[in-house]
Structure 1
Amino acid sequence: MNPKKLLSVIFVVAVAVGGYFYPPVGLLVIGLIVLAVVLNFRSTRYFCGRICPNGASLQAVLPKVSRKHRLPKTLYAPELRRALCAFMLFCMVNLLVRFGHSWAQVGRIFWAIYVISLGISYTMGIFFKPRAWCAICPVGTLQDTLGSASTKDNASKDSAKAES
């Protein structure tokens, strides 16, 4: 296993296990989301391909047990991906408003969302390809959405310059 994949597996296990015993560890998840959004300005899904510890850990752990089936085309639909992203954002905001009264509680909320996502991603990786989760990942969907919005903004600015 190469060092990047090993570090990714260590990070995922540390957050998943460590967050149970020490909830502020879940705050690292916020850092990952912010990093993904910031790096998205460099290139869409740059974070996913080069930094995401979840994707690298899926590639490190699952290749021998994965059935390597293709995902159903319906899971690639932007509407479904955006709906999942919106649902997870709704759940996150709802939990933060109801229970996020301290940094430890905020960490616990993000830890719980992270662990649920890990469970889904590893299950999908076993039944489909190892990185099947990446096709519907809410953080990746957020990056795609922000990337397409900035591309549209740039295109409209370019067309406005061309007209003047």
Structure 2
Amino acid sequence: MNTIKSFVHKWVWLMLIFFCIAGLIYPKVGIAAVICMLAPVAVSIFSGRMWCGNFCPRGSFNDILISKISRNRKIPRLMKNKWFRLLFVVVLMGAFAVQLSFAWGNIVQVGQVFVRMILITTGLSIILGAIYSHRAWCVICPMGTMASWVTQAGIGSKGKNVTFDKQRCVSCKLCIKSCPMEIDVLNFKSKGEVTHPDCLKCGECVIKCPKDALEI
């Protein structure tokens, strides 16, 4: 399963490129975006934000490409605030809903609304990723935020978290430094597992741990 996830994550970013190009040429393709919009929330019911960390085309795009140009600066605290994330969800999804209501009944225009939304958010993702952490967008992504809410509710996600081998852990903090979401992984050591709702299950902390004290 890990091999499959790694392969998908390595190449699924190509779907984002294809979607953007094909959507501009043939707008009806845009409707397919609904899959990637609903999937993070649906998967979070069972596995937290695993979709975001392993199967999301934009997440893959950020990890594979944007990470190479990112300045790796701290994500602004404002972006992590609950009220800001809620406001961003309301504003972005509200604007999306209004556009969709005007386009409803015309499949071409509906597709254009989806394509436009993906292009705008991808542009924001690139800008934020280049200036801050390559996964900065994932902190405020509306679908990711909603997936985080579902995860926080604890619906069926137990047993899918990063876990600690407390005996091996030497508190070197490399797990914290490697986390693209800037989660204080070590803070969950006493608990034995990382239950933070924004953990992407990407495995970066597992890979960077020199003592093999972490696993998913």
Q: 1:1-164, aligned counterparts within 5 Å?
A: 3-148=7-152, 150-151=153-154
Greater relative contact order: 1 or 2 (C-alpha under 8 angstroms, separation 6 or more)? 1
- What is the TM-score normalised by the length of structure 1? 0.84
Structure 1 residue identity aligned to 2:23? G
Q: How far has the Cα of 1:5 moved from its partner?
A: 4.4
Unmatched runs of 5 consecutive residues or more in structure 1: 153-164
- What is the TM-score normalised by the length of structure 2? 0.65
Moved segments of 4+, more than 4 Å: none
* Alignment partners' CA distance in 1, 2:85 and 2:132: 17
Structure 2 residue identity aligned to 1:151? G
Q: How far has the Cα of 1:4 moved from its partner?
A: 3.0
RMSD over equivalenced CA pairs, Å: 1.7
Q: How far has the Cα of 1:38 moved from its partner?
A: 1.5
% identity of equivalent residues: 24
* Alignment partners' CA distance in 1, 2:55 and 2:7: 13
Unmatched runs of 5 consecutive residues or more in structure 2: 1-5, 156-216
* More helix by percentage: 1
Given that 1:63 and 1:130 are in contact with CA atoms closer than 8 Å, whether structure 2 keeps it comes out as yes
Given that 1:100 and 1:109 are in contact with CA atoms closer than 8 Å, whether structure 2 keeps it comes out as no
Structure 1 residue identity aligned to 2:133? K
3-state SS of 1:69 partner: coil
Q: Encode CA deviations 1:74-102: one digit per residue, 9 max, x unaligned.
A: 11011101110111111111011112222
Q: How far has the Cα of 1:146 moved from its partner?
A: 2.9
Given that 2:59 and 2:135 are in contact with CA atoms closer than 8 Å, whether structure 1 keeps it comes out as yes
* Alignment partners' CA distance in 2, 1:42 and 1:5: 19
Q: How far has the Cα of 1:45 moved from its partner?
A: 1.1
The 1:27/1:83 distance shift into structure 2, 3 A limit, reads same
Given that 1:75 and 1:81 are in contact with CA atoms closer than 8 Å, whether structure 2 keeps it comes out as yes
* Alignment partners' CA distance in 2, 1:63 and 1:47: 19
Given that 2:89 and 2:142 are in contact with CA atoms closer than 8 Å, whether structure 1 keeps it comes out as yes
Structure 2 residue identity aligned to 1:141? T
* Alignment partners' CA distance in 2, 1:112 and 1:66: 24
